[in-house]
Amino acid sequence: MSQPTVPSEDERSRSGLLLQMDIEHKKPVVSSSTGHRHQGSLETIVDFNHVPLTSSERTRGENIFDRILKVSAPAADSTLPFDTTKLLRISLEEIPSEQGKDNFLNYVLRNHDPMEDDTEPRHFSQVLDSLEQVVPESSSQPPEWVASRSAELAKLLVYFFFLPLKGQAAKTPQPTPHLTPVGDGIHTPTLNRISKLRATCLARDNHRCVISGYFDQATAEDRESFVDDSNRPLTDGEILVTEVAHIIPHALGQSMHENAPLSSEKSKFWDVMKMFHPEMEHLLNGVEIDRPFNAMTLTADLHRSFGNLRWYLEEDSHQPKQHTYLFKDSPGVRARVNPMFRPRDEGERVQFVSANNTDLPEPGLLSLHRACARILGLSGAGEYIDKLLRDDEKNRLGRCVPQLEQGQLDLAGIVSWRLASFIKSA
């Protein structure tokens, strides 16, 4: 796979690439061709507490968004194995909340507005007025910066949000319930908290994987006889090792020192999280990420594939708000999964029931997981991230920052740098 090249300083000035500025810790630059001072950090672009868009603003915004992607498509970045314009389009379609869709429109359009200045953000209607003047309704002679801006916004989402989301999947420590774990360089209060979470989720889920129904091996071995929570005898064929699985990965939460500020990398991740589903932000503040509503009991294989966004749970529209879901393969995955290892058929119903009145997995978090799985599957960006992670696993060089050599962007370095930033502050 060819690597994206790093533009020259002059090219960066003309296009104002967000991703390059973030990677190199540069300040925003001024586009010499448009006078557009592009922002270099996500948090300065959108006020996530803004008043929701009016119906008229939303309609105009969606129309301009569509025009931007149409004129950008012919000039899409050919060095990437996924369609950046498709990723942006599918993101708007799949974001699970109306406020999130408004935020995303606001984010994309402000980053294409040639008159936007992050020192004094303009009213959204002014942004729309500007873009209606400069973005053509067809692909004929669009401004050069429109396509490059769209591509860089898509890559920013991939590198700062989707990459850590997949890269930190299924890496929750698995301490033994009720025991105080020892060391391994992980903060003891964190391990104690996760140990309690595992025990709580096991009890809530009847000591079974909520998808496959396998009974937890450690629990079975601790009992005088192999029986489940209803005293029904267990056979060897229905017992497996289970794990506590976070919906939003544990490593993306607060640092091990619970009152410490978030790292720069985590701040960027949470900026996108707030943009996609602002209603969920308050649920995961600090140690709240290790609460039962963000976790469930899964076998190790299902934990890994869930975290890798290979399957998701979709709320059953026939039983809304009943914690009933349909098991769904992520787009493009089904053909590559051996039927022997499929615990559920496509569309099979899954219902969560609490055995002890503990909070069940939060529907809003599962809807966000579903959206991410579909965005990455339908755009092809998921396979791209998987390859980056596989290459990183093969080529661990111990680097903590990306290196720019001979005009190329060192993607392996970026992956290691991104993931190390989360691990160090977990």
Mean pLDDT of the chain: 77
**Residue 175 placed within a domain:** no
For residue 93, pLDDT over 60 is answered with yes
Whether 161 and 196 share a structural domain = no
Q: Which of 49-63, 67-81, 219-233 has the highest mean pLDDT?
A: 219-233
Query: Alpha helices of 84-140 — where are they, by DSSP H?
Result: 84-94, 98-110, 124-134
Amino acid at 280: M
Domain count, the chain: 2
Sorting pLDDT into bands at 50, 70 and 90, what band is 296?
Answer: very high
Query: Is there a single domain that holds both residue 210 and residue 161?
Result: no
Last residue of a domain, one of 167, 196, 227: 167
Average pLDDT over residues 89-96: 96
| Mean pLDDT in residue range 154-170 | 89
Give me the half-sphere count of Cα atoms (radius 13 Å) on the Cβ side of residue 286: 6
CA distance 206 to 302: 17
User: Is residue 136's pLDDT more than 90?
Assistant: no
Q: What average pLDDT does range 395-420 have in this prediction?
A: 47
131 vs 60: CA distance, rounded Å: 10
CA distances in angstroms from 230 to 221, 224, 233, 271, listed in the order given: 16, 14, 9, 45
Backbone angles phi, psi at 341, to 5 degrees: -105, 10
Clarify whether residues 125 and 223 are in a common domain.
Answer: no
Q: Which of 177-191, 214-228, 412-426 has the lowest mean pLDDT?
A: 412-426
DSSP labels, 172-241: ---PPTTS----TTS-HHHHHHHHHHHHHHHHHTTTB-TTT-PEEHHHHHHSSS-B-TT--B--GGGEE-
Question: Which of residues 132 and 424 earns the better pLDDT score?
Answer: 132
Q: What is the mean pLDDT of residues 309-325?
A: 93
**Distance between CA atoms of 156 and 272, rounded to whole angstroms?**
10
Residue 255: the pLDDT is: 55
Tell me the mean pLDDT in the region 78-96: 91
Give yes or no: residues 91 and 215 share one domain.
no
pLDDT bucket at 342, cuts 50 / 70 / 90? low
For residues 165-189, average pLDDT? 63
159 and 204 assigned to the same domain: no
Query: Residue 185 has what pLDDT?
Result: 45
Q: Could you tell me the residue range of the domain that residue 384 belongs to?
A: 188-424
